[in-house]
Amino acid sequence: MRRTRLFLPTLKETPAEAQIVSHRLMLRAGLVRQSAAGIYTWLPVGYRVLRKIEQIVREEQDCTGAQEVLMPTIQSADIWQKSGRYDDYGKEMLRITDRHDREILYGPTAEEVITDIVANEITSYRDLPKNLYNIQWKFRDEVRPRFGVMRGREFLMKDNYSFDLDKAGAVHSYNKMFLAYLRTYSRMGLKAVPTAADTGPIGGELSHEFIILADTGESEVFCDRALLELPAPGPDVDYEADLQPLVDTWTSHYAATDEKHDADACPLSGDQLVTARGIEVGHIFYFGTKYSQPLGAIIQGPDGQQVTLEMGSYGIGVSRLVGAIIEASHDDDGIIWPESVAPWTVGLINLKVGDADCEATCERIYAALQTAGVEVLYDDRDERAGGKFADMDLVGIPWQLTVGPRGLKDGKIEVKRRADGEKSEIALDDVEAWIAERAAS
RNA sequence: CGGGAAGUAGCUCAGCCUGGUAGAGCACUACGUUCGGGACGUAGGGGCCGGAGGUUCGAAUCCUCUCUUCCCGACCA
C-alpha cells in the first residue's frame, strides 16, 4: 500500500476524550474514530489489525474441529423469554420494537439463538459432539462505556457453544477450548493467564477467565510465577487425545484476580507469587443444561432414552484484543505490533521523494516485497523525514526500511526494528535475502 | 444508576468572572527558503461559540431547560 493513497489520518496531539494509552494511540494512529459513546468506526489500518486478530482466532477454532456459523445481530425476544433471560438481563440489553410492534433486540450474546437451532436440527446422539462458533458484532448497552474499544457498547466477539451427550464429553469440549485459547493468545504475542472465575449471570460450574498481562490493565492478578513460564501448547496439539493432563498442568497453579484472591489462603510466598495488572480477553464456561433444558435441546441417546444436551460457551473479545495488545505492547512513540497482527510487516520510507535514485530503489524494494508476499506500507509522501519516521513508529510497523541519498551513496539502506529500536544497515545487494527472510518468518 | 467536569476552527485550547459582534498553536492551501527523527517565512481558507428558550439596545459571555461527551464509583467480553 502506498501511503499517498491510504486513508490514514494520524494525529500529533492527543484527543481530549481519550484517557488510557491504547485509546489514545488508536485515535492518534488512525485506527478508529468514535461515532457515539462506545461505538466506533474502524478505519483501514484498524480494520486490517482487527481482521488479522479475527483470523488467528478463526484458525485456532477450526483446529479444534469447531465450525463457523454466522448468527444474526438482531434477535427475537421469544427465545429469550423461553430461557428466562429476557427479564433477567436488564438494561444492558438493547431492546427494539419493529414496525409490527414485535419485540426484538440487538444480541448481547447468542446462547438462545444457537441452542434453538441445535434443538431443532439435532435429534440423535450420532450427531454429537458439535461445537459451533460465530464471530459477530454484539451490543451491550453499558451504563458507562470507556477505555475506547476495550469497553465499548458495540464489540466484535467470537463466541462458541459446545453440545455434548454427557458431562465427560462437555469437559473434553471445555478442555479443547482451554488449550485453543492459550494458543490463540500466544500467537498474538500475548502472555495469557487462565484464572478460575465466577460464572456470573450466564451461570455454570466450571469457568476460566483468560487474562493477558499489561501494566495498564484494569484488574489485578495474583499468580504462580511458574504459570508465566509454561509454554503455550504447540501447533501439534491432538485435540482428540485426552487433554486433561495438559489442562491440569495449567490449572494446578494458583491464579486469581483481586476479587477472588485471598492473601491468607494463598499458597504462594515471596518470589513465587507474581502480582500483575491484566485485561480479561476471554472467558469459558461449562453450564450443563441451563439453556438446553428450557429451549428443548433434547436428543435421543444410544439406549433410546431422551437426553438433555450438556453445553458450554466460550468467548473471546476480538475488538477488545486490539486495545489489549496495544496496552501490552507500546512505548512513548506509539504502538509496537507483534508481527502476527501488524497491519503491515514492513514500512518502506523514501526519504527523498523526487530523487531518481531513491525512487527507483524504493520502487524496486516495494515490488520485491509484494512479490515475496511480505505486506508493505510504502511511505511515498513528500514529507519531511521526521514526520515519516514518527508516523511509522506511531502506527507500529514492525520493520522499517529507510531509503535515503546518504545511505544510497554507499549502496546501503537502513533497517530498524520497531520493538527495540535497533538499527542496522544492509547493502542493496542483500535486500533480496532480507526480504526472503521476512517472507519465511 | 449515584457523584463530578466539559462542549468555541479538523486537533489542543484561550476568551466567559467584569456582555459591545471570534482568537492562538498545530493541521490545511499557495509561493519561497529548507530537507536523515514531527523546519521557517509570507499570504490565505476555515467557526449559526452543542441546541432551544429567556434577560438585554446588544449574549460565546448572564439565567432556565435540553442534548452530547469525558472522569470517579457500582456493573461488565
Same fold, A3-335 and A346-440: no
For chain A, 441 residues long, the average pLDDT of each consecutive 10-residue run is 96 90 95 94 97 98 98 95 90 92 94 95 96 96 91 95 96 97 97 80 73 86 92 96 96 87 80 90 93 95 96 96 95 96 98 95 98 98 96 98 96 98 97 96 80
Q: Which residue blocks in A39-100 are alpha helix, DSSP H?
A: 44-63, 77-83, 85-88
Span CA (A404) to C1' (B51), Å: 53
Spatial CA neighbour of A431 closest among A354, A351, A374, A389:
A374
CATH class (in words) of the domain with range A346-440? alpha beta
- A201 CA: nearest nucleotide by C1': B76
In this predicted complex, what is the ipTM? Answer: 0.94
> Domain spans of chain A?
3-335, 346-440
- A173 phi/psi in degrees, rounded to 5: -60, -40
Distance of alpha carbon A274 from alpha carbon A225, whole angstroms: 6
CB burial class (10 A; 0-12, 13-18, 19+) of residue A164? buried
What pLDDT, on the 0 to 100 scale, is given for residue A162? 97
Write down how long chain A is. Answer: 441
Type of residue found at A153 = R
What pLDDT, on the 0 to 100 scale, is given for residue A259? 78
- A349 CA: nearest nucleotide by C1': B36
What pLDDT, on the 0 to 100 scale, is given for residue A204? 55
Which bases in strand B are touched by protein, i.e. have an atom under 7 Å from a CB?
Answer: 1-2, 11-13, 25-27, 34-39, 68-77
Span CA (A143) to C1' (B73), Å: 12
Span CA (A11) to C1' (B60), Å: 27
How far are the Cα atoms of A79, A109, A195, A229, A259 from residue A298, in angstroms, in the given order?
16, 22, 32, 43, 37
CATH of A3-335, one of 3.30.930.10, 1.10.10.10, 3.40.190.10, 3.40.140.10: 3.30.930.10
* Whether the Cβ atoms of residue A26 and residue A322 lie closer than 8 Å to each other: yes
Span CA (A323) to C1' (B45), Å: 37
Span CA (A281) to C1' (B55), Å: 55
Contacts for A272 with CB less than 8 Å, ≥ 6 apart: A224, A225, A226
Place of cell 469447531: A66
